Amino acid sequence: MKFRSFFTNSAGIMLSRIAGFIRNLLMASVLGQTIYSDMFLVAFKLPNLFRRIFGEGAFLQSFLPSFVASRNKGVFAVSILRRFLLFITASSVIVALFPEFFTRLLVIGWTDVQVAETAPMMQITFWYLALVFIVTFLGSLLQYKEHFATTAFSTVLLNFAMIAALFIYRHDDPKQVAIALAVSVIVGGVMQVALHLYSVYRYKLMPLLTGGWKYRKQKDVKGENKKFNKLFIPAIWGNSTPQINAFLDTWLASFLVSGSISSLFYANQVFQLPLAIIAIAASTALFPSISKVLLNGREEEAYHNLAKAFWLMLAVLGVFALGGVIFSEAITWLLFERGKFTEADTEKTALVLSMYLVGLIPFGLAKLLSMYLYASHRHMKAAKIATVSLVFNVTASLVLMQYMGAAGLALAGSIGGWILFSLTLREVGFRHVSQILFSRNTALLLVGIAILGALFYEINLWLMEWIRG
């Protein structure tokens, strides 16, 4: 495993998430958990859904293996770029023409007035989808050169744009603040594209694109396009199931008490931090090298690299999960409880966060193991496993939301995570992973985490007494 690439990804994601926490802190202070915060989050839901699908692996996992194997890289890359941009632009136009219809799909439980006020924000934010695809496409070319920094650090630009909007409009009407946030999403996307174009020029990839555009003989890449299509469709489905679940959570939460959507959002943002800086960073750093190693038939070397990343993630995510559950209320208080975000909001969000963190370890390890499946061209297997996990997730959500509200939706997601990890582990090969799991090192790690948990518990008792005393 190339630790330099891993730490580059982690540092970039960490900086972006810190900026994201500042953004959420300002949003919680300016808007609280109100209908206006829910409106913006709903308007941003679809473009953010596709951002995560594209940006966190689906496109890369299909495009990069095909691009590496292509004999006409420029023509192949340009053909993919043109096809996707045409589809995304057409979709954005349709959403812009019928925004209330698509808003209603997200929040069936809302009134006509709420939907009508959210629709203009949907018209604005959906155009971010085209921008984020360009960023993902250019980022894939940069990762072919094993350059990760630009993509890892670029997301911070989106957060900076949203922070600026919140700061400038913080004293305005809440509806105006929400609209300003929608516009800032587009501004941030434009800045991300500009940064990637600069890096593509710097790494001398621009001639590849311009040459591919001028040549454009599709017959030379017809077979490669077909191969890409066979990989892309199951990759999209496999990577989108967590985002589809988040989409369904928003939809189901619209039937719960006001502020439930915001509770899920704020808690999920905290949950995503360790998942991103450990699991996503490691998987992204490993994927290009694992793909090349497997292409050359060096399977044992691939498993060796996988084992090192597995141990790192198991240890770090274990500490994050345990500490996060124990300190959930203190974390929520520190990050969000100010302005219109009340103590009651803190308690509700902390419970949701705890339920999310139950699934931190399985989601992280499943992300790593599924990367191996994609690198070995088992995209359809990964998609089937994700489908089974989604079915369990939705079923549990419908049951648990009746008794636990938003926290039940979060717990259902964690249950789905454990199903996803178990099935992915079996497909990758339990024989290989069991050598990592069932060892003396694992036992020592578990004992260490248990001791650390007892220490965390005592510290939390003192900390909460100080906070609420």
Q: What is the predicted pLDDT for the residue at 215?
A: 62
Residues of the chain with pLDDT under 70: 1-6, 33, 49, 51-58, 211-225, 295-297, 301-302, 430-443, 469
Report the 3 state secondary structure along 250-291: HHHHCCCCCCHHHHHHHHHHHHHHHHHHHHHHHHHHHHHHHH
Residue 143: both structure tokens together: 């990762």
Cβ burial of 403 (10 Å; 0-12, 13-18, 19+) is exposed
Nearest to 375 by CA among 137, 146, 60, 80: 60
pTM of the predicted model as reported, rounded to 2 decimal places: 0.70
CB 361 within 8 A of CB 415: no
Contact 287, 64 (CB under 8 A): yes
H-helix segments, 145-259: 149-168, 174-202, 206-215, 222-253
Query: What pLDDT was estimated at residue 187?
Result: 95
The amino acid present at 225, given as its one-letter code, is N
Which pLDDT belongs to residue 360?
92
* pLDDT given for residue 311 in this prediction: 76
Domain boundary assignment for the chain: 3-468
Q: What is the DSSP letter of 218?
A: G
Please write the tens of the pLDDT for every residue from 241-254. Answer: 777 777 788 778 87
What's the rounded Cα separation, in Å, for the pair 363 and 319?
15
The answer to whether 295 and 69 are in contact (CB under 8 A) is yes
Measured distance CA(11)–CA(152) in Å, rounded: 8
Q: Nearest Cα to 56, choosing from 272, 380, 376?
A: 272
Determine whether 447 is exposed, middle or buried from the number of CB atoms within 10 Å of its CB (0-12, 13-18, 19+): exposed
CA distances from 177 to 29, 39, 167, 170 (A): 12, 11, 10, 7
